[in-house]
Amino acid sequence: MTTPAPDPTARSASTTNQTILTALAIAIAIAITAMSFTLPTFASRLFRPFTSTGARLGITADGSGGASSSVPIPEGAEKATLAAGCFWGVEHMYRKHFGGKGLYDARVGYTGGDLSNPSYRAVCGGNTGHAEALQLHYDPTQITYQQVLEFFYRIHDPTTVNKQGPDTGPQYRSAVYYHSDEQEKIAREVTRKASDQWYKGKVVTEIAPAGRWWDAEDYHQQYLHVNPGGYECPTHFLRTFPPLQ
């Protein structure tokens, strides 16, 4: 019985298939390697740390005259306390916008809750009643409280209850905590106008008297300056609304 000769066409097709599979495997390996370098930066925007060894940056943060806890606040300075979701982005935006224009200090912390000296981990649990908040000290001859509040309503979404973007829980609520009767009056007026003119009547921002303030841990202060690839809530950006009337 005669053995048939090998088919050269079949052998050529097999070799071609092996070459294609080899090239595909190499391409996949290259793609996986590239992802291994980019994933940490991407992941850092999705996962917020509970602890860090990063030290707080001092007065030069953002090039905007940021202050540490030891910087004295001049007599006559005004204070504003606000909550607009993840405090990293809120603080960063206020420093960039008002730095060098009358802003003395901007610190992140916790307010509006019941637990004394709360930790970040406790507040993130959503059961302490605290909001992640920002406290500003500024020169009222250069910055008005109305300007502070109008900027506040431009940089976050005040229409969601206990939520900012993907961050959900009462610690991410929108709130204005006033320090005087005059601040309350201005806060209610600006809130009404912003709701009517910018947000179609849907603003749900809490307006309440300021309570006990607790500074957040040092690694949270000026976090996005120290960690420029850190998490930023997607709702934190400057909206180009027309001036309030």
Active site residues: 86
The bridge status of strand 163-164 relative to strand 213-215 is: unpaired
Which residues touch 93 (CB under 8 Å, ≥6 apart)?
151, 155, 236, 238
Which pair of tokens denotes residue 199?
């947000």
173 contacts 83 by C-beta, under 8 angstroms: yes
Cα–Cα–Cα angle for 219, 83, 53, rounded to 5 degrees? 5
One-letter amino acid identity for 104? Answer: Y
Give the burial class of 213: count Cβ atoms within 10 A of its Cβ; 0-12 exposed, 13-18 middle, 19 or more buried: middle
State the Cα–Cα distance between residues 84 and 70, nearest whole angstrom.
25
Report the alpha-carbon distance of residue 226 to residue 183 in Å, rounded. Answer: 32
**CA gap 153, 160 in Å, rounded:** 13
Tokens encoding 132: 């992640």
What is the β-pairing status of strands 103-111 and 206-209? unpaired
Token digits of residue 93: 């935006």
